[in-house]
Chain A
């Protein structure tokens, strides 16, 4: 009789544990779904910024025409220059000007990290708003690929 009671209590305890686990899984599922949807939308803004920025007409003149930022980035990857300046320097300056005109950054509140990676994954251009990024947990990031021959250059921007 005593053994049966203990068995019943164990079954009851297991049922409670299962119910609690199911509830926790549902809550976790809802939480993850909401976070990923918010992230997707935030990324859209940066993605849209990168698309518009890559069309930007730069001051780099080659053969009588001014290059767009995506063409200048390809030139930077190829190690070419633009007049007396390096194509990478103009790429860096142009991206810095566009990013800092589009958002307000201040030490301790908001920072950014911009990178251009060659097809092997090495950084060819890197820009940071501050040497130490802010410790904000919310960070949004988007990337764009620029074709360079048979390979792609990866341009990405992260704002924290």
Chain B
């Protein structure tokens, strides 16, 4: 009788710990995807900040906005292929969110009436990471710098 009771107790404890383990692993697994996604987002944001701070991107014409991207500067380097190697990126797009002109790719001919500057675009299946940025550029109509809302999209085998 005593052995039977002990056996029941052991089985009960084992089931209890198994349940606790199952709950723990289900919580861990459900958070694993979120954590991975969050880590990737954080990396993208850090990468975007790093790019925005580089001399090729940084807006230095006015002290108003230290973290802005200079659209006038990057349109000049968008045709130069050497920069793809410098940043070691497979995909770098700078997109204007607001105001929107047209969803066309920017060239020196249609700039600034366009929304997307492509700095690197190697064919890749890698997921793109994005971060919000302020885009700055000279506006001849208002005769001053205009600040707009944009997004930088990057993808690389590194991230």
Q: Chain A interface (Cβ within 8 Å of chain B)?
A: 16, 20, 23-24, 27, 30-31, 34-35, 37-38, 41-42, 44-45, 48-49, 51-53, 55-57, 65-66, 68, 97-98, 101-102
Contacts and interface: CB of A to CB of B under 8 A. Distances in A.
Given A37-B38, A38-B38, A98-B98, A27 B27 contact: yes
Given A34-B35, A37-B35, A44-B45, A57 B146 contact: yes
A132 B68 CA distance: 36
Contacts of A35: 31
Contacts of A98: 97-98, 149
A78 B75 CA distance: 39
Given A55-B134, A101-B97, 4 more contacts: A27-B27, A41-B41, A44-B42, A57-B148
Contacts of B146: 57, 66
Interface of B: 13, 16, 20, 23-24, 27-28, 31, 34-35, 38-39, 41-42, 45, 64-65, 67-68, 97-98, 100, 131-134, 139, 142, 144-151
B42 A41 contact: yes
A31 B23 CA distance: 11
26 contacts: A20-B16, A20-B20, A23-B20, A31-B27, A34-B31, A34-B34, A38-B31, A41-B38, A41-B39, A41-B41, A42-B41, A45-B41, A45-B132, A52-B132, A52-B150, A55-B68, A55-B134, A57-B146, A57-B147, A65-B144, A66-B144, A66-B146, A101-B97, A101-B98, A101-B149, A102-B151
A57 B144 CA distance: 10
A41 B142 CA distance: 37
